Each structure stands twice: as C-alpha cells, then as structure tokens.
Amino acid sequence: MVGIVLISHSPALAEGAAELARAMGVGKAVVEPAGGDVDGGLGTSIELVEHAVARADAGDGVLLLADLGSSVLTARTFIEDAEDAGDVAVLLADAPLVEGAVAAASMAATGAGLAAVRDAAEAARDHRKLR
Amino acid sequence: MNAAGLAAWIRHAAHLVSADAEHLTRLDAAVGDGDHGLNLDRGFGAAAEAVGALSDDATPGKVVLTAGRAIVSKTGGASGPLYGTALRRAGKALGDRTEVDAAALGAALAAALEGVQELGKAAEGDKTMVDALIPAVSAYEGALAGGADLASCVRAAADGAAKGAEATVPLRARKGRASYLGERSEGHMDPGAASTALILRALADVTVEG
C-alpha cells in the first residue's frame, strides 16, 4: 500500500491532519506526520521527513503533502535526494494539506498505486465549499 | 583557490552571518516570520563545524557539498533547502578537481543559481535571494569574459549581489510569507537577498586574503 507523509510547520497540525486522514482511510491507510523541527518547535526538518517516510514505506511508494513555504522546499529537497539514492519512490502532491491528505488516504486504502493516490490528492483542490 | 580556501570561506561566512544575525532577523521581521538570522546562524554554524571535521585530503567540491548538506539538515526555515541546494549544486559542479580556477568557480556559482531557481521557482523581481544571485552571476561572468582573475571576479560578484539586494527594497514580494502582504511588502530589503550578498562578501574577503 502507498504510504502518506504530512509535512507541516506545526507538530500538532501534522498529527491532527494525519489522525483525520487515517480515519478516512478506514484504518488501512498509513499516514505519518512530519511536523515541526527536531526540537518539537515550529519549523521543518528534513530528518523528520526522512524518518516519517521510512515508517510509511511499505514498498509501494510514499506520497508527501506539505503545508507551505519551507515545508514544500524541504519536501522537494528530500525528493531530489531520494531520487539520487533510488531506494524509495516518493512524490509530492500539489494539493492543500488537509483536503489532500483525506483524499490520498481514501484512495491509498483501496490499494491504488502511487500516481493514482497523488492524483486523488491533487483533485481535492477542486472540492469547493460554497458551490 | 583550493579546499582550504573554500573551508575558510564557509567559516568566514558563518562568522559574518552570526555577527549580522540580528540585522537579518530584523529585516525578516518586517516582511517574513522573523527567524532568518537565527536560522542561518544555526545552519552556517553547523556547516563550519562539518567542514572542520573533514580530512585534509577533501577536495574543494567535497568541502562545499558537505557545507550544503549540513545547512539542509540544520537550518530549519526555507533558507535551509535553498542555501543547502545552492551549495550542493556548486559542490557537484566543482567535481573532483583539487584546484579551482576562475572559470570553474563561475560555473559553480551559475549551478548554485540554477539549483535555487529550480527549487524555489522564483524569477528575477520576485523579491527573493534570486535578485542578489542573478546580478552576482552576471557580474562574475562579465569580469571573467573581460579577462579578470579569480579574486576580481569574486569581488565583482559580491558587488553585484550587494546592488541586487539594495534593489529589492521597492519591490513587491511574490514568494514566501511576504507575498501575502501585497503592497505592504514594498519598502523593505529582502532578507534572503541581504544574506546572499553577505555570504558572497565573505567569499570576496577570503579570496583577497588568499
């Protein structure tokens, strides 16, 4: 199954979004938070992303979602390194964090592949709230 | 320029960043989240430490690559991936050579700019570090084409970066937190452009001394 990693500046935001996404992934989807810096404060850490990807990786690839700014840059830097190392397939979804995580977990729980899970996350961008 | 010269640059850059951390943080507090000086101080401090731990036979490319890796893992904010990528790309561009001439250093500087733009997707005029790096690269390349030696090329790049940073003051930010402020981001120097100018000034300082 495709794993999912949520990267946020805030540990609480990453963990809360992961909790919600796991519930929508009917307890099957593996959603791991990578929130804050290594000291537990607000920030981003490529080491926390590395650890979360290792936990989420079951051999079918890992989808990353990021909140903003340095989370996105850290995710992209991690992917560049992962591509150089070639040990795990990782993609970053161009998607809002919460909506994207819920959509990705729902799709991942069906056993779909990495590209399909990424597409589901990105399609969440079009789910409007007032129309 | 050899590996020791580049290690001296990283140490001097860490020193200048540390001395200027409060100023960088003040610039960042005006338009960003107010952590630029602190983050960069931590990142370059870690880079200086990592470079100091290398063996004496490390190549110039290895020195710069090692500094970049330390900055990516220790900095914290957006400047970590950006400066880390800049240095890692520059280090890769230097390859296995043991002596860096003016042309090789120019190619490394251009590779750094390319890496930053690829990662951050910023264009010239977006009020980012790219607005210091682009004039630095063109000034370096102009000096090189005119037959200048390495030290003069680096001095031209540092001057170009400083002018580029100054020129970010009236710009409206189109990247990062500052972009949420619209016209209120005008009238402040971009902290990333300011720190880029500082780091290139560090290179000019050690090149003249060497």
A37 chain-B contacts, CB cut-off 8 A: 76
With an 8 Å Cβ cutoff, are B76 and A69 in contact? no
A47 chain-B contacts, CB cut-off 8 A: 73
Kindly report, residue by residue over A42-101, the tens digit of the pLDDT. 989 999 999 999 999 999 999 999 999 899 999 999 999 888 888 889 999 999 999 999
What's residue B139's pLDDT? Answer: 98
Tokens of A58: 């079951």
Is there a catalytic annotation at residue A9?
yes
Tokens of B137: 């690269």
CA-based nearest distance B104→chain A, Å? 23
Catalytic annotation, pick one of A3, A4, A8, A9: A9
- The owner of tokens 């590209």 is A115
Q: Residue A118 pLDDT > 80, yes or no?
A: yes
What's residue A52's pLDDT? Answer: 98
Percent of chain B at pLDDT exceeding 90:
88
Please name the residue of chain B whose CA is at the shortest distance from the CA of residue A68: B176
Please name the residue of chain A whose CA is at the shortest distance from the CA of residue B35: A43
A46 chain-B contacts, CB cut-off 8 A: 72-73, 80-81
- The domains of chain A are located at 3-126
Please name the residue of chain A whose CA is at the shortest distance from the CA of residue B82: A73
- The owner of tokens 């860096």 is B100
pLDDT band at residue B209 under the 50/70/90 scheme: low
Q: Could you tell me the domains of chain B?
A: 3-209 (1.25.40.340)
What's residue A39's pLDDT? Answer: 84
CA-based nearest distance A72→chain B, Å? 9
Please name the residue of chain B whose CA is at the shortest distance from the CA of residue A79: B119
The question of ipTM being above 0.85 is answered as: no
With an 8 Å Cβ cutoff, are B78 and A73 in contact? yes
Phi, psi of B181 (to 5 degrees): -90, -10
What's residue B161's pLDDT? Answer: 98
pLDDT band at residue B25 under the 50/70/90 scheme: very high
Kindly report, residue by residue over B71-123, the tens digit of the pLDDT. 999 988 889 999 999 999 999 999 999 999 999 999 999 999 999 999 999 99
Percent of chain A at pLDDT exceeding 90:
80
- Going across the sheet that includes A3-8, the strands are A31-35, A3-8, A62-66, A90-92
Residue B89 or B30, more confident: B89
With an 8 Å Cβ cutoff, are B80 and A46 in contact? yes
Strand A31-35 relative to strand A90-92, pairing? unpaired
Tokens of B94: 């230097």
B82 chain-A contacts, CB cut-off 8 A: 73
**Mean pLDDT, residues B171-184 taken together:** 90
d(CA A76, CA A80): 6
d(CA A24, CA B102): 57
Neighbouring C-beta atoms of residue B39, cutoff 10 Å = 28
Q: B72 CB near a chain A CB, below 8 Å? A: yes
**Mean pLDDT, residues A18-22 taken together:** 97
What's residue A14's pLDDT? Answer: 98
> What is the CATH number that goes with domain A3-126?
3.40.50.510
Burial class (CB in 10 A: 0-12, 13-18, 19+), B101: exposed
Please say whether the beta carbons of B109 and B157 come within 8 A: yes
Neighbouring C-beta atoms of residue B41, cutoff 10 Å = 20
